[in-house]
Amino acid sequence: MVIGVFALQGDVREHVHALTASGASAIAVRRPSELAQVDGLVIPGGESTVMSRLSKVFGLLEPIRERIASGMPVYGSCAGMIMLASTVLDGRADQESFGGIDMTVRRNAFGRQVDSFETDLEFSGVEGDPVHAVFIRAPWVEGVAPDVEVLARVSGGPADGRIVAVRQGNLLATSFHPELTGDLRVHDLFVRMVQEADNQATEEAVR
């Protein structure tokens, strides 16, 4: 099982380290030939408008969309959440996403860099204590379709109740950065998702 990290922009190294610590083999993905080698993909935090532009320049936009449509598991954190959204608010007019999760995301919803903060979240599907979440120029989810599972919301403060983690099928997204905290539980969850998808594909191939 190999999980790629979209490596044209963003905090790639931290995700590679977290995936490796969670038991996966991780590689950087910068071109379609590398994307073809992976069983799952992480889209890291960074700058979604730059990711959009570079994915087109390097020929990754359509191949990633095709892999998502074919069922490849993908996890997006912060800017990665924006890249997985079907609708993006407050983005550039020419900004494109990979899509896949039927949700509306507001870019930079929590404010600018100086408004970055940390908090603890109750996270559905993750056992143990609340997940400590780091938000840096983070988006939030304005709304989701009925088949999108809400995994976490902010509790308290001016953003009380805002959706910050979701799952739809093989796609997972958080508006925060678990790769920065040393808590591997979100990455563990995604590695399990990739394993389950790989097992299902193997069973279908045998039938």
Mean pLDDT, each 10-residue run in order, the chain (207 residues): 95 96 97 97 95 96 97 97 96 90 94 77 94 94 97 91 97 96 96 94 79
Q: How confident is the model at residue 113, as a pLDDT?
A: 65
Q: Is 15 a catalytic residue?
A: no
Compute the distance between CA of residue 35 and CA of residue 31 in angstroms, rounded to an integer. 7
Assessment of whether the complete model's pTM goes beyond 0.75: yes
Answer yes or no: 187 catalytic.
no
Provide the domain limits for residue 15. Answer: 2-206
pLDDT given at position 115: 63
Catalytic member of 14, 15, 96, 179: 179
Please tell me the total count of domains within the chain. Answer: 1
The pLDDT assigned to 192 comes to: 97
Whether 177 sits among the annotated catalytic residues: the reply is: yes
Question: Considering 177, 196, 203, 204, which one is annotated as catalytic?
Answer: 177
CA atoms within 13 A on the CB side of 9: 18
Note the pLDDT of residue 45: 93
CATH number at residue 6: 3.40.50.880
Catalytic residue among 78, 118, 122, 149: 78
Beta strand 163-168 pairing with 131-135:
unpaired
